[in-house]
Amino acid sequence: MTVSPARRAAYDALLQVETQEAFANLALAAAVAEHGLDAQQAATATELVNGTARLMGTYDRIIARAARRELSTLEPAVVTVLRLSTHEQLSMRTPVHAAVDEAVNLGRIAVGHRVTGVINAIARKVGINDLSGWVQALSADEDELSALGTRTHHPRWIADVYDYLLGDDAEAGLLANNTPAVPTLVVRPGLVERDELSEPGLEPTPYSPFGFRRPGNPGGLKEVRQGRAGVQDEGSQLMAWLLALAPTTEEIADLGWLDLCAGPGGKAALLAGLARQRGGWLLASEKAPHRAELVRKAMARYPDRWQVITADGLAPAWQPRSFARVMADVPCTGIGSLRRRSESRWRRTEEQLEELVALQAGLLAQAWAATAEGGVLAYVTCSPHPLETVEQVQAFLDTHPEAELLDAPALLPDVPEAAHPDEPLMVQLWPHRHGTDAMFGALLRRGPST
């Protein structure tokens, strides 16, 4: 009995996601390298891993119902095999008998002969229905929000957020998270301009003047290999562009820019280029040493006018009011980037919000302390959750009368429907409307202290 290298690599990656809380993209990259997959095999493994991880919560409910037992009663390795088989049967349209045979072979080789019987029985029962039929059965007795989550393959609490903000458009917004994003790249200002790129297949981003989309491996583009371009979602590019466009006073023009939570470095590299074009410089701060190293690599092609430090944003390593422009792209639930982070919708929970919101408030306070009078702070998240976005900023404004909320959407006139539904001076982007992550951004300018 043999198992295809792509399927074995996918199994190894997903088992790490399940048992070690690994990130799917990193586990997949390691498995592809370990098994020496060619381009076609790697593409198959990518679909198996990302597709399975993206619908994992739905698949787990289907498997549990087919097995008539809780998944906790099965070994993690067996659950991983069954998830892969469920994805192949219900989303890849692999014939049931073929998917079951492959699951049994994989279980025998990866786990042992003793589990083949249970894998065979459960996988066959999964195949008695198609995905839409299973979804209909799972949602039959659910309330409206739970059914919305089931139909779109999201936990109820995420469906609730989208329903609150988007109303009748919520289902379209949630479904957009299930379509993998085409890799979006960004030029490094001052190193290469977008109109200099001539490779076939490049599609300029509609809103960011620095971005372009390119299917396939980003490393296939020589500008990426050279460090003159990098990978960055268009929404993230627009948040950096917002900070650069925001008006500041002339008196602080010679002050530097600060990226408070700079890892992994895409936004910092774009800010470094924008600062250099204006005669400025950038300090990029990152708490985690390995992420700080990624920031250094992202900016390495710039010869000067930047520095990376390993420092905690809650314990500043700089003097107060030292920067003309400050980027606070704070840690968040990440529910705005679900297209690219396939497993995160099932890993994040609503219970984690309280701790994250407290961290965000602390980082926002320190970012503000670093902002000079007349300077601007950009508060950014890759989450649309009100507690992490509008309510966080409004709570800050209530206690800081010297802070002026700028009209951020007005700085992006070519981006339609960019205003947040609850606060028209803040920006909220959406995958189904803008083709970006659901990025949030607010601009705060420091006025004279009272």
Residues recognised as catalytic: 382
Token pair 């003159």 in the structure block, residue: 228
CB 328 within 8 A of CB 260: yes
Half-sphere exposure of 251 (CA within 13 A, CB side): 6
DSSP state of 288: S
Taking CA atoms, 434 is separated from 173, 214, 238, 325, 417, in Å, by 11, 17, 11, 26, 9
- Tell me the three state secondary structure of residue 286: strand
CB 10 within 8 A of CB 86: no
DSSP state of 300: T
β-pairing, 371-381 vs 323-329, is: parallel
Nearest 5 degrees, angle CA 217-CA 221-CA 222?
140
Cα–Cα dist 365/252, whole Å: 20
Cis preceding linkage at 209, omega within 30: no
